[in-house]
């Protein structure tokens, strides 16, 4: 039973880490105003990351043109990744 939980937690941790990389790329690309988010490589990135970012944008609206919601979104993802790391560590030691 714990082997399947360990595999699931490891897979989720990998997914969260890949999603964090996608989030960083999305945030960095948002600094370039001439990017057309309807072009294929950018539209895929936008479709993957915007639903998650919109959750935090609805909680924290842009203040003075600066959007702080990606910071909170990244902190939340990092918290999940650290929790999964702790879970994997606990399973490895038998706790």
- Separation between Cα atoms, residue 48 and residue 88, nearest integer Å: 26
Residue 92 banded pLDDT, cuts 50, 70, 90 = low
More confident residue, 66 or 45: 45
Average pLDDT on 12-20 reads: 92
Q: 2-16, 31-45, 56-70 — which one is most confidently predicted on average? A: 31-45
For residue 34, what are the CA distances in angstroms to 7, 39, 56?
42, 12, 24
What is the 8-class DSSP label of residue 33? T
Kindly report the number of other CB atoms within 10 A of residue 12's CB atom: 16
pTM of the model: 0.83
Q: How confident is the model at residue 54 (pLDDT cuts 50, 70, 90)?
A: very high
């Amino acid at each position: 039973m714990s082997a399947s939980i360990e595999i699931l937690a490891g897979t989720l941790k990998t997914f969260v880490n890949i999603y964090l990389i996608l989030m960083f790329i999305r945030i960095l690309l948002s600094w370039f105003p001439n990017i057309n988010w309807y072009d294929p490589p950018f539209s895929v990135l936008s479709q993957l990351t915007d639903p998650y970012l919109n959750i935090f944008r609805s909680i924290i609206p842009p203040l003075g043109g600066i959007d702080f919601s990606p910071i909170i979104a990244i902190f939340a993802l990092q918290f999940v990744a650290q929790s999964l790391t702790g879970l994997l560590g606990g399973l490895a030691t038998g706790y």
